[in-house]
């Protein structure tokens, strides 16, 4: 008799042939009686296996953890904001350096403080206007595109 | 807390934004999942942690869940794998008590002490000496909720292999219990 056959008997699904062999061996073999008894005892204990119960607040704790884990996802997304901010500021800084340095270089000795109105006739005024335009453009881009984009990503909208 | 509502309709509710579905799904499957984890890892605290982690993983992957599959086999597979990983990580930390020592620690009046209410603990002690695979086979089989085919899906092997492994696991458990208590086990029944 194979072990599988013995377990088939214990599970109540043996073939007629196995039942016949089992009955015969029970009568003739003491070793088989011991082995079958051992398996039957273990099986009887296991048949009492019942469902364990979780702690009474299991579901509440789980839902709390689930909600916290959802918040962490949002927080992770918002952690990228400083990077975007730094990139934006770097672009603005580079633009300012490109625009302002030539102005400072050229303006040495050209601006006559005693004649402040002459500034209107020089490049300085034009370049300042250009800088203001760039800043206003960046501000508008931020209001129109960047701010709604990040708000959407953060789930605020 | 079983209702007539199917797992699929609860999942549909969750995916359409009804957050109460998470609670319903958890209440429905927590005991079974906890039992599987507990039988594998052997302590209630760890089993509860593993079950919670498995639920979180399942919730996160719900949108990817193939609804042609059975939710329970998919979810119990997550529980099984989590418990298995935990067991492997903690293998070095677990007590390595020889069976003979364990047998010596059992008091003389074992027969009476292990009656009824302590039978479960005794079996759990014996299960702790088996591999997680063996424990899973035995647990899933004796909880009687899953067919051999469904057990096969949970552990990721064929039904035929499940039958062979289950047979070996039951044999090993019988031998372990026999070593632990010898003849005294007979008095438990």
Question: ipTM score here?
Answer: 0.75
* Chain B residues touching A65 at Cβ < 8 A: 52, 56
Rounded distance between C-alpha atoms, residue A121 and residue B177, angstroms: 102
Token readout for B140 is 């899933």
Residue ranges of B 141-160 with Cβ closer than 8 A to chain A: 142-143
pLDDT digits (tens, 9 = 90+) for B78-103: 999 999 889 888 765 554 444 444 44
Tens digit of pLDDT per residue, chain B (189 long)? 456 788 889 999 999 989 899 999 999 999 999 999 998 888 899 999 999 999 999 999 998 888 778 899 999 999 999 998 898 887 655 544 444 444 444 444 444 444 545 677 778 888 888 888 899 899 999 988 888 899 998 888 999 999 999 999 999 999 988 888 765 545 555
Rounded distance between C-alpha atoms, residue A73 and residue A154, angstroms: 9
pLDDT at B107: 43
Please give, rounded to a whole number of angstroms, the shortest distance from the CA of B68 to a CA of chain A.
25
- List Cα–Cα distances, A32 to A16, A19, A28, A40, B9, in angstroms: 19, 14, 8, 12, 52
Rounded distance between C-alpha atoms, residue B115 and residue A49, angstroms: 14
* Chain A residues touching B56 at Cβ < 8 A: 62, 65-66, 69
pTM value?
0.64
Please give, rounded to a whole number of angstroms, the shortest distance from the CA of B142 to a CA of chain A.
6
Cβ within 8 Å, pair A46-B27: no
pLDDT at A69: 85
* Chain A residues touching B189 at Cβ < 8 A: 41, 44-45
pLDDT at A62: 93
Tens digit of pLDDT per residue, chain A (157 long)? 888 899 999 988 888 999 999 999 989 999 999 899 889 988 888 887 788 899 999 999 999 999 888 876 555 555 677 778 788 888 888 887 777 766 666 655 555 555 555 655 567 777 787 888 888 888 888 888 888 888 777 755 5
pLDDT at A148: 83
B95-189 adopts what CATH topology? Arc Repressor Mutant, subunit A (1.10.10)
Annotated domain spans of chain A: 3-47, 58-153
Residue B104, C-beta contacts closer than 8 angstroms, at least 6 positions apart: none
pLDDT at B64: 85
B1-94 adopts what CATH topology? Rna Polymerase Sigma Factor; Chain: A (1.10.1740)
Residue A62 is nearest to which of B52, B142, B185, comparing CB atoms?
Answer: B52
Residue A41 is nearest to which of B27, B171, B186, comparing CB atoms?
Answer: B186
Cβ(B33)–Cβ(B75) below 8 Å = yes
Annotated domain spans of chain B: 1-94, 95-189
Q: Does B31 touch chain A (CB under 8 A)?
A: yes
Note whether B1-94 and B95-189 share their fold.
Answer: no
Cβ within 8 Å, pair B188-A47: no
pLDDT at A89: 81
Residue B31 is nearest to which of A4, A39, A52, comparing CB atoms?
Answer: A52
Q: What value, to the nearest 5°, has the Cα angle with vertex B186 and ends B180 and B189?
A: 115
Q: Does B118 touch chain A (CB under 8 A)?
A: no
Q: Nearest chain A Cα to B26, which residue? A: A59
Rounded distance between C-alpha atoms, residue B119 and residue B112, angstroms: 11
SS (H, E, C) B28-88: HHHHHHHHHHHHHHCCHHHHHHHHHHHHHHHHHHHHHCCCCCCHHHHHHHHHHHHHHHHHH
pLDDT at B186: 52
């Amino acid at each position: 008799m194979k072990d599988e056959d013995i377990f088939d008997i214990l599970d109540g699904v043996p073939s007629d042939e196995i039942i016949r062999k089992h009955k015969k061996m029970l009568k003739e073999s003491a070793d088989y009686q011991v082995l079958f008894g051992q398996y039957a005892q273990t099986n009887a204990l296991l048949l009492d296996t019942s469902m364990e119960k979780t702690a009474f607040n299991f579901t509440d704790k789980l839902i709390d953890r689930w909600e916290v884990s959802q918040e962490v996802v949002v927080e992770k997304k918002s952690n990228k904001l400083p990077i975007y901010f730094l990139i934006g500021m770097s672009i603005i800084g580079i633009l300012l350096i490109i625009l302002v340095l030539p102005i400072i270089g050229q303006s040495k000795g050209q601006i006559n403080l005693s004649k402040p109105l002459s500034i209107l006739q020089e490049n300085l005024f034009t370049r300042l206007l250009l800088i203001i335009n760039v800043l206003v453009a960046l501000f508008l881009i931020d209001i129109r595109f960047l701010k709604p984009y990040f708000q959407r990503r953060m789930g605020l909208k | 807390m079983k209702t007539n509502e199917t797992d699929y309709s609860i999942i549909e509710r969750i995916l359409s934004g009804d957050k109460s579905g998470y609670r319903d799904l958890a209440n429905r499957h927590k005991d079974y999942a906890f039992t599987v984890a507990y039988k594998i890892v052997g302590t209630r605290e760890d089993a509860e942690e593993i079950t919670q982690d498995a639920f979180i993983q399942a919730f996160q992957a719900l949108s990817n869940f193939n609804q042609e599959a059975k939710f329970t086999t998919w979810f119990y597979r997550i529980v099984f794998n989590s418990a298995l990983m935990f067991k492997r990580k903690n293998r070095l930390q677990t007590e390595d008590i020889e069976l003979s020592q364990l047998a010596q620690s059992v008091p003389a009046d074992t027969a009476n002490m292990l009656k009824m209410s302590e039978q479960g603990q005794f079996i759990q002690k014996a299960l702790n000496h088996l591999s997680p695979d063996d424990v899973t086979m035995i647990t899933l089989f004796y909880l009687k909720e899953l067919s051999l085919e469904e057990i096969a899906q949970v552990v990721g092997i064929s039904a035929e292999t499940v039958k062979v492994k289950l047979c070996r696991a039951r044999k090993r458990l019988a031998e372990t219990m026999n070593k632990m208590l010898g003849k005294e086990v007979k008095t438990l029944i």
